[in-house]
Amino acid sequence: MRHVFLQQERAMKNLLKSWIAGTALLSISATAGWAEEANLILNWTPGADHAPIYYALEQGWYADAGLDLKANSGKGSGLAAQTVGTGSSEFGIAELGTAFVAKSKGADLTAIMVLYANSPLTLYWKKSSGMKGPKDFAGHTLGNPPGDAARVLWPAFAKAVGLEDGSVSFVNLAPPAKNPSLAADRVDIISEFYNGHDAKVAAFGDDLAFLRWSEYGINPYGNSFIVNTAYMKENPEAVATFVSVTQRAYSACVEDPKPCVDALMAAASGLDEKAMYDQWTRVKDLMADKTTTTEGLGFFDGERIQNTYDLIETYFGMEKPFDPADAYTNEYLDGSQKMTAQ
pLDDT at 23 over 70: no
Q: What angle do CA 127, 171, 82 make, to 5 degrees?
A: 110
Q: What pLDDT, on a 0 to 100 scale, did the predictor assign at position 35?
A: 77
Q: Which CATH superfamily is domain 35-118+220-326 in?
A: Periplasmic binding protein-like II (3.40.190.10)
Domain with CATH 3.40.190.10 in the chain: 35-118+220-326, 121-216
- Segment 14-41 shows an average pLDDT of 50
Q: What share of the chain is helix, strand, coil (3-state, %, to 5)?
A: 55, 15, 30
Going by C-alpha positions, the residue among 119, 218, 209 that lies closest to residue 161 is: 218
Give 264-315 pLDDT, tens digit per residue: 999 999 999 999 999 999 999 999 999 999 999 999 999 999 999 999 999 9
Which CATH topology does 121-216 take?
D-Maltodextrin-Binding Protein; domain 2 (3.40.190)
Q: Which of 48, 46, 39 is nearest to 226 (CA)?
A: 39
The structure's pTM equals 0.88
pLDDT for residue 147: 84
Q: From 303, 119, 31, select the one nearest 295 (Cα to Cα).
A: 303
**What's phi and psi for 40, nearest 5 deg?**
-125, 115
Confidence of residue 33 (pLDDT cuts 50, 70, 90): low
